[in-house]
Amino acid sequence: MAGCNLYESGAAGIEQRKRFYTIAKELFRKTIHMGTALVPLVLYYSKTLIVSLLITAIVLYSITEILRLSGKSVPIVSKITEAASRKRDDNRFVLGPITLCVGVLLTVLLFDFKTATAGIFALAFGDGLASLGGKLIGQCVIPFTQGKTAAGSLTCFIAIFLSSFAVFGSVTLSLSVAALGMFIELLPLRDFDNLIIPVAVSSLIYFCF
């Protein structure tokens, strides 16, 4: 009996460590993700500068990923990529940072400042916090969403609503874009939600409001 209890205690400890590691890794990933919320600050002063920075980031990251996959580690960048990558990305080109930068870049190029800001905030905070909310408090998994949780979706909705309201001050607009952002985040798009969310949210605002 004592041996059985010891085994169960050890197994529980392993599960707790795995959960802590998973949450810590997700927190690191999403901290990078939410860093895109700083883009409008630079955009406010210079559209040319932020476009140049995003294109440079895409090119440099692509080069470092190709080098990493060929066995040539690039100081700092490769370590950050490995630390932030998911298990599904093992031994593969990690697309997340590319789709993130491309989504933000398209939003900056296609829309006016306020509209682009709302779209970028939806990506940074809505998509960024959804995964954390799901992993921290999510237990109710939504069917056919590849593991998405009700808690994560609700977190996404609230984050997009609040960030959109902060930009436009409109309840109707904020509810609409929050619903759209939450719906897109629910879809099993893998890393491509980074590209779709800011453009789709900004498009809804531009054409409907």
Please report the pLDDT score of residue 22 as a whole number: 65
Residue 2: inside a domain: no
Residue 3: inside a domain: no
Tell me the pLDDT band of 190, cut-offs 50, 70 and 90: confident
Q: Which residues pair with 149 in a beta bridge?
A: 141
| Whole-number Å distance between alpha carbons of 43 and 119 | 13
Tell me the pLDDT band of 135, cut-offs 50, 70 and 90: confident
Residue 174: inside a domain: yes
Residue 10: inside a domain: no
Q: How many structural domains comprise the chain?
A: 1
Residue 20: inside a domain: no
pTM listed for this prediction: 0.86
Chain segment 19-40, per-residue pLDDT in tens: 666 667 677 778 888 999 999 9
Contact predicate 185/205, CB 8 Å? no
Alpha helices in 35-149 (DSSP H): 39-45, 47-69, 77-84, 96-110, 113-121, 128-137
Please report the pLDDT score of residue 93 as a whole number: 84
**132-154 average pLDDT score:** 80
- Measure CA of the first residue to CA of the last residue in the chain; give whole Å: 67
Residue 14: inside a domain: no
pLDDT for residue 7 is more than 50: no
CB atoms within 10 A of CB 64: 20
Sequence-separated (6 or more) residues with CB below 8 Å from residue 67: 73, 74, 78
131 or 6: whose pLDDT is higher? Answer: 131
Structural domain of 90 = 29-208
CB crowding 188-202: b at 16 or more within 10 Å, else e: eeebbbbbbbbbbbb
| Whole-number Å distance between alpha carbons of 33 and 178 | 18
**134-141 average pLDDT score:** 74
pLDDT for residue 41 is more than 80: yes
Chain segment 156-171, per-residue pLDDT in tens: 999 999 999 999 999 9
